[in-house]
Amino acid sequence: MFEDRIIIDPEVRHGKPIIKGTRVPVDIILGALASGMELKEVAAEYEVKREDILAAVESTQQK
């Protein structure tokens, strides 16, 4: 699932993984969750969808 929502583009954010269609880095999403924010709060704060957040989490588990 995350392959459809997470991209790496060397021209955007120095090649860091981002949410597709945004400039929001995956590490920012993960940091927000780690600090205790709820999914709804993260989605509102960074203007992403719940599925984007779940894809960010999933992308860290695929190694």
* pLDDT for res 14: 92
Query: Residue 3 and residue 56: Cα distance in Å, rounded?
Result: 10
Query: Residue 40 and residue 13: Cα distance in Å, rounded?
Result: 24
- In this predicted model, what pLDDT tens digit does every residue of 1-46 receive, in sequence order? 677 899 999 999 999 999 999 999 999 999 999 999 999 999 999 9
* pLDDT for res 48: 97
The answer to whether 19 and 5 have CB atoms below 8 angstroms apart is yes
Residue 63 confidence (pLDDT) above 70: no
* pLDDT for res 1: 64
Domain boundaries, the chain: 2-61
Q: Which helix (H) or strand (E) holds 41?
A: helix 39-46
CATH 1.10.10.10 fits 2-61, yes or no: yes
